[in-house]
Amino acid sequence: MDGLEAKILGLLSSEKEPEKLMADILRVLMLYNGVLWISELYREVPMFHGTLGEERVENTEDIDNAVSKLVEMEIVKMEERLKGSFASEGFEREQLVFVIDRSCVLKTIQKDSKFRKFIAERDRIFREILGKKK
> What distances in angstroms separate CA 33 from CA 52, 53, 100, 115, one per listed residue?
20, 23, 11, 13
Q: What is the CATH number of the domain that holds 44?
A: 1.10.10.10
Domain span at residue 109 reads 3-133
- Kindly state the average pLDDT of the residues 63-92: 91
What mean pLDDT is reported for the chain?
A: 93
pLDDT score, position 132 = 67
| Contact yes or no for 64/130 (Cβ under 8 A) | no
- Kindly state the average pLDDT of the residues 28-32: 98
Is the sign of the CA dihedral 120, 122, 109, 62 positive or negative? Answer: negative
- Kindly state the average pLDDT of the residues 2-13: 95
Q: How many domains does the chain have?
A: 1
Number of H helices, E strands in the chain: 6, 3
The Cα 5–Cα 114 span in angstroms is 17
- Kindly state the average pLDDT of the residues 15-37: 97
pLDDT score, position 118 = 97
> What distances in angstroms separate CA 18 from CA 24, 29, 64, one per listed residue?
10, 16, 11
Q: Return the closest-CA partner of residue 63 out of 26, 94, 30.
A: 26
pLDDT tens, residue by residue, 52-77 = 999 887 899 999 999 999 999 999 99
